[in-house]
Structure 1
Amino acid sequence: MKIKTAVIGAAGYTGGELLRLLVHHPEVEISYIHSNSQKGRKLEEVHPDLIGESTLVFTDVVSTSELDAVFLCLPHGETRPFLEKHSFGGSTVIIDLSTDFRNETNGFVYGLPEVNRDTIQNSKKIANPGCFATGIQLALAPSVAAGFTEGAALHITGITGSTGAGKKLSEPTHFSHRNDNVSIYKLFTHQHLTEIKQTFGQLNDSFTNDLLFVPYRGNFTRGIWITAYFPFSGSLEEAYETYEDFYSEAAFTHISRLDIDLKQVVNTNKCLVHLKKEAGQLVIYSAIDNLLKGASGQAVQNLNLAFGLDEKSGLRLKSTVF
């Protein structure tokens, strides 16, 4: 019997990306797709690339019964009041893609599989990590866990595609602003830093390091590139062995001893990590697709874990490469 699921807030970028995965997931049946703004419209009218893939029609009615799982793709700050108004059964797996429950328990487990895989498998409430948070954590988690970063400020830069800002138009996401342009925002204050520190504290209870994060808006559509570095007295080989051991059972995070580039991961649920040692610093590059491993793909990965499925089910995707 297939997993009956619904997507709440299915008209945006993350909701659309979820639907692209779920309509082809071999173990999932989509019961309904929800949107207050698009009610009555066919799926293909809102997400034109899905023409011929489904006959689903958007509804503004929320049904909480007979669902095995529900994905919440609501804007940040709207999930908590939504769940206060709509009560799902205790057996329904809830996967929230907003920030609302990432930094506290309330019964939610933080859904970063590379760190919390076993807990996710036994959870009914999963808070999906943020996109920048995913790229940064996967770049630095093995170093934090091994104590490589002890006492050091962690310098991090990250550049994200325009889809990371959501579907609603604003000046920084407008083509005229974004094209042929790069800009910085939320210098050292990005909202994802809280959840990152939470995970690093879980991996190493002595972690108190400063995270000096410079986020960039990129002039491309999708993908995140992270560069992080800190002083390191060990060898590059020691670092590689530590990272390869940490991710030895990870389904989608891969350590590459060859240089990496962003297009290797765009349109996939992969994270690629590459290491260098220069000028006494361990330098880590990581690359993800912000809409997949940074959002909807990771949400499906968490669904698979919660239901005891093959972790890669519905996620065997090919990168764009060129």
Structure 2
Amino acid sequence: MRNYQLTPDQRRLFSRQGFLRLPGSFPSHLVRRWQQAAEQLELQALQVHSQGLHGRDFCVADDPEGPRLMRFRNLISHASELVIDTLASPAMMALARELCGPGAVPLHLDLFFKHQHPYPVTDWHQGAQHDRRFPYLNIGLYLDDAEEGDGCLRYVPGSQHGLQPIDDLAEHYGWSPPGVVEQPARAGDVLVQDKMILHGSQPKRSEGVRRTLYVEIRPWQAVMESRSQSSLWAHLRRRWMSQVMARADEADWPADWEQYPQAEETLSELVSQTEACWEPALPAVRASQPVYHPEYPIPSELRHLEKKAEVIQLPT
């Protein structure tokens, strides 16, 4: 028996609306480990930034509150053991198995840090564009609560099937286009979204930081056929999934999935090989020009801080 399974209703809901919340599905011991890792990575990034240096894998914003970490990328290289344990967890195995399917591999793993306004705003965007012949998932694992009305994610259900007129939607509707859904989450929740769904988030009003681990999963055949990355890059992701299979409960992995090589090298060797073949993530699609609306991107009651804030374009 599987340790975690999606229901038929959950699968239908995801197919129809393009996102799905799985409450409390990320184990508490992994939440705690990632919280500790996030604190260490944040300290590391800010120390490098204080020396006037830049890192390929993190982005620090200098805003009125001082330097604040926005995103730490490429976690495969920075927290490899924890990455494997996370990908091998029951809910993540279920998503790979039931929503992604044979050939599922991890593409990118990032930590996103959302601080109190004034701070860069995540505007309306759609993730990496593709021909949709294969699934492409972006999975958010929440390390902190995201309250309704406090800059949690907003989705436009059903928008994942093609490019949306983001300029027009933002100009006419701001943060409230027809059908928009505001999706709060709690620490330990898993929020899985179709990579192409239209989404964004308003400024965070409360104090403190909200941290979310994002994991992209896609069949490796899709990477090969689309040539979005090199064949070597794609095959390295298969070997990462071999490491996951070796650590996961056998009950969670389909016996007929024979598309992965035997895990032969050590994890540190695989990290070194992956670092040597680093390639950037595919870009998101956003408005083609600056958009003005009385409530977008900064709501009117926060406009007195508008000059201190900015819109940030982060890949997701």
Q: TM-score range by the shorter chain?
A: under 0.3
Give the TM-score taking structure 2 as reference length. 0.26
Higher relative contact order (CA 8 A, sep 6+): 2
Give the TM-score taking structure 1 as reference length. 0.25
